[in-house]
Structure formats: C-alpha cells, structure tokens
Chain A
Amino acid sequence: MGKQVPIVDYLVIDDGSPHLAAWESVDSGALYFDRRNADAKGGGTEFRRKKLATTGKVRSFTIVNRGVPGIPVPYVSALVDLDGGGTVKANLTNTPPDPEHVKLGMAVKMTTFPAGTDDDGTEAIAFAFEPAS
C-alpha cells in the first residue's frame, strides 16, 4: 500500500482508529478545526488537542443535486453533533440520498474512504458518516 495522508489535518489516521481531533481552548472549552491565532469565544491563546467521538446525531442535512464539476450527485451533506462535543460537516454515505431515508436526529458513525490519489501515488483519506444501525 502506498502512502496515505488525511484530506484535512483534523482527521487523524495514524493514531489508532481514525477519528477527528479539534483544538480546544484551555480557557473557554471552545472547539475549532482550523489553525488558530486565538480563541474567538474567550480570547485566550492556549489550546490543547481534543480527540472527538466517532459517533453522533444528524442536526441538519441537505441533498445536493447540483454541485461542482467532478463530484457525483446526488449526495447528502450533513451537520453532525458528535457525542461528547463538537459539530462537524461531512457527507452522509451508505444510505439512499433521499428524505425518506435521511432523517434529522438520526444516529450516525464515522467512516473513512479514499478520496483520490495524487501523481506520486499518495492516497488522500477522507471521512464521512453513515447510519449507526
């Protein structure tokens, strides 16, 4: 198997089972996925890495029928409230992309998949969520 890299740096694929990690403000407890200069909630500048749960509930979704070139449609984009804290946006997979199957509040779990391979053979690993049961 060639080299693998996470699609974004808040997806951790080289420390046990794949999971998401956020920057948690030491002062306010606010969670962030991006590189930080300071905490936009409390103003502090100290952060620690926090491992997030791989399970959660769908707080919102949309079914995209017209998207950007190269991305097959329809697909489901969802906001997921992770158990224990943190909200993330990702695709919802392994379910028919229609409102009869995708429900607000449904329990989901994280999964990973290869999103592409570059010219050096490096594979980008992305994450998505799928129904928990």
Chain B
Amino acid sequence: MSGDNGDNVWILGAYMTKFGRHTDKDLIDLASESALGAMKDADVTIHDMEVLGCGSLFNAQAGVGQQLQKQIGQTGIPVYNVANACATGATALRTVLLTIKAGEADMGLAVGVEQMGKGGLLGAGGKGDRGRKVYEPSGRYGSVMQVEGVLGTGLMPGVFAQAGMEYAYEHGGVDFEQFAKVAEKNHAHSTLNPLAHYQKQFTLDEVMTAEMMSYPNTLLMCCPNTDGSAAVVLVSEEKLRTLSRDQQKRAVKISASALTTDPWTEHAQVQPDVNTLTRNAAKQAYETAGVSPQDLDLVELHDCFATAELIHYDNLMLCPPGDAGKFIDERGPWRDGQTPVNVSGGLISKGHPIGATGIANVFEVTTHLRGEAGDRQIEGAKVGLTHVIGLGSACAVHILEKAAV
C-alpha cells in the first residue's frame, strides 16, 4: 500500500439520493439533497467548502453549480461545471481533488446530478426531417442522410453489444448466457440496496427471454434512464488531522485517481474502443495506490450494459486475460465470490443518472469501507475500486482505502 506522504486527499462525507424517477423534483432539488447530505455526513457546512465541482452532462451549459449555490450557499468560492461523458461525476470529484492537491483548498464539495426522465435510447443522433429532402453531403463523412440503422448501429445497446461480441471474437469462451449472467447477478445484488432504482431479482432464464434490445443485450441487461444525485466532501490530510476523532475515523483515503482518454487504436475509427483507456486507467491507479487487483475487496464498475461489465473484468484485471466468461461462470464477481462487483446493483439495476454515476459508485465503496452498508455490507472491506467510462471517450478509476490518518 502507498505510504502516507501528507499529500493525500480523503473523503470526509458522502451521500446519494434514492435513484429513480423523481418527477416531483428538479435537478437542483436532487443536487441540493446530495450536497447537503454529504456535508451533514461530514459534519461540516457550506462555509467550510473552498471549491465546488459540479457534474451534469445534459445541463452542461446551465451553470448547475451556481444554481446549486443559490439554493444551499452563495459563499463566492470557485465553481467548476464539468461535463465529461459518463465520467462526468468522477471528473467533478477529480477536479476538487486536484484543487486540494494544488494547495488552493483544504476542503471541497463534488456533486454529480442528472435528470434523465424517460430518455429513450441514447446515441441516435444524425439527420432528421427538415422539410424538403435534398441529398447534400455534409459533416466529416459527407453523409447525405441519417446513417443510423443503414450503416450499422451507433445506439448504445448496440455499441456495447458489439464491444462484448468483439471480446468474444478475440478470446472465445463467451456467449449470450455468460453476458446474461452479469445481469442476473446485478439484479440479485440490487435487492439489498434500498437506494437502487430497481430492486427486483430475475432468474437467468428471465434475463435471457426478456425483450431483445440489441443481441446479446436484452432489456434486463441494459441500464435504465434514471434521475439522481450523489456528492462527496473531500479534505486534505493536513486539514483532516485537525478535525474530530469521529470525522477522522470515518474518513476514507483516495489512494489513486486516474483519468484517461482513448489512445488511437485501429478498430476504434468505427467502433469505440472502451478497453484500452480502461486498462490504462486501471494500470495507473494500481501503480499509484500500490494495490493489486487481488487486494480489492469490492469493485463498482461501469455496467451500462451486461456486455460492458463482462469485458471490464478483464480490463480491470480482475481475471486472467481472456477469462472473463470463466470468471462469471465461477461466480467470481458475486457478492460472495472472489472479487464482489457491483454489490450496489450496478448501473443495470441501481440506475445511471449520468452526471451522478461516477460519484455514486464512490459513495457505495466508501459506505462499505466505513462498515456502514447494512444488509449489503461486504464484511471487512478495506480496499475498493470505482470505474466509469463514457464514450468519446473518458475513463476514471479511483482506488479507495480504509486507513488511519
């Protein structure tokens, strides 16, 4: 494990709202709840905050951080409004972390929030009807019409289905059933998490016979559109040492924070490569933290689709190369398995409010490391990893540790 050099950043407070459809609340209601909840959990107030990082992808230009301040405290501190695909929340967290590491602040608040509503399938884009139809080349591909469904699919269930099938092509030993087992596990895990959007268990057969969205992803293998927010209070180690014994005892150390984008790879010109940047982020994080994949007591990874979770077992090195199918067959990622993965229910059941997701998974791991996860507690958890990836692409990995300050 990494040595304490006094430059560490710690999580002092964490909170997430119930994930679901919050038709009676707006974006700022959700953000306020999580921000106030995290500060209460940390036993601090808005007057202790010296920086605010706010992640909300679909409202990136709305100044959500400032809107939030106008509800919970206009103290004049700097705000960073962050948008970074599905890594938006994790990037907001990392922005606050870097501000503390830079010595500009001792304590800060990171908030992620999204209101997805019934958003439908994401990723369609393209050209719609605009009155008179005339084929004129436009855009970087000189396309004359919408190509979604004509030249393959860029819809999210299909993109991640193709990512999973690409893994099957390269490694073999993976089929529809292995992918479906991922969703069977996460739905089962969600039954222990009262904050999850859905808490319903399904048999493997029910997962496999649900409506097919984009083979091999059935409806029960896709994350839902969800509203929600999560927040954390971060503190410098120096500042933490001046706080109460109770605050120090519940603080969780951020042993590594890695953020990567996708390096050039040959096949990624037509199909996003979600693997290389995840492997790069994981490698950086393990090295920085001095932690190996075998040390992890739990992992919250980006299971936007069941096919995605399976390939990230390999990318995060939770299994030997090419063995992701075997890993799920042997129940390695179940809560009583070798390395519990997504004991929160994951994005598949807990939900995926994009801006909140990268902080919600930090909340989950933090709660286990504190021993406060109730029925879903992974007993004796000391080290955990969080992972998010957004297409475009951006990937964040954090390693958290229960440690004495």
Which chain B residue shows the least CB distance to A122?
Answer: B135
Q: Are B213 and A65 in contact (CB under 8 A)?
A: yes
Q: A71-B150, A90-B151 are in contact. Are A40 and B264 (CB under 8 A)?
A: yes
Q: How far is the CA of A119 from the CA of B216 in the complex (A)?
A: 38
Q: Does A124 contact B (CB under 8 A)?
A: yes
Nearest CB of B to A133, in Å: 19
A residues 99-124 touching B (CB-CB < 8 Å): 99, 104-105, 115-116, 118-120, 122, 124
Q: Return the contact of A9 from the options B141, B152, B161 (Cβ within 8 A).
A: B141
Q: Are B166 and A59 in contact (CB under 8 A)?
A: yes
Contacts of A118 in B (CB 8 A): 133-135, 144
Q: Does B149 contact A (CB under 8 A)?
A: yes
Q: Are B152 and A65 in contact (CB under 8 A)?
A: no
Q: Does B153 contact A (CB under 8 A)?
A: yes
Q: Are B141 and A115 in contact (CB under 8 A)?
A: no
Q: Are A65 and B211 in contact (CB under 8 A)?
A: yes
B residues 82-126 touching A (CB-CB < 8 Å): 121, 124, 126
Nearest CB of A to B122, in Å: 12
Please count how many residues in chain B sit with their CB below 8 Å of the partner chain's CB atoms.
Answer: 46
B residues 153-206 touching A (CB-CB < 8 Å): 153, 155, 157-158, 161-163, 165-166, 168-169, 176
Q: Return the contact of B153 from the options A32, A34, A67 (Cβ within 8 A).
A: A67
Q: Are A87 and B145 in contact (CB under 8 A)?
A: no
Q: A62-B158, A99-B215 are in contact. Are A35 and B267 (CB under 8 A)?
A: no
Which chain B residue shows the least CB distance to A28?
Answer: B264
Q: Are B143 and A89 in contact (CB under 8 A)?
A: no
Q: Are B267 and A34 in contact (CB under 8 A)?
A: no
Nearest CB of B to A97, in Å: 9
Q: Are B133 and A79 in contact (CB under 8 A)?
A: no
Contacts of A8 in B (CB 8 A): 141-144, 147, 151
Q: Are A60 and B214 in contact (CB under 8 A)?
A: no
Contacts of A91 in B (CB 8 A): 149-152
Q: Are B176 and A99 in contact (CB under 8 A)?
A: yes
Contacts of B142 in A (CB 8 A): 6, 8-10, 35
Q: A35-B140, A67-B155 are in contact. Are A79 and B270 (CB under 8 A)?
A: yes
Q: Are A60 and B162 in contact (CB under 8 A)?
A: yes
Which chain B residue shows the least CB distance to A3?
Answer: B135
Q: Are B152 and A68 in contact (CB under 8 A)?
A: no
Q: Are B148 and A30 in contact (CB under 8 A)?
A: no
Q: Does B132 contact A (CB under 8 A)?
A: yes
Q: A61, A71, A127 — which one has the most chain B CB atoms within 10 A of its CB?
A: A61
Given A8-B141, A67-B121, 16 more pairs with CB closer than 8 A:
A8-B147, A9-B141, A34-B140, A34-B141, A59-B166, A60-B165, A62-B158, A62-B215, A62-B217, A68-B148, A71-B150, A79-B271, A87-B267, A99-B176, A99-B215, A105-B169
Nearest 6 interchain pairs by C-beta = A9-B142, A71-B149, A62-B161, A77-B152, A63-B215, A89-B152
Contact sample, A vs B, 11 pairs, CB 8 Å cutoff: A6-B144, A7-B150, A8-B141, A9-B141, A60-B165, A60-B168, A68-B121, A77-B153, A78-B152, A87-B267, A115-B145
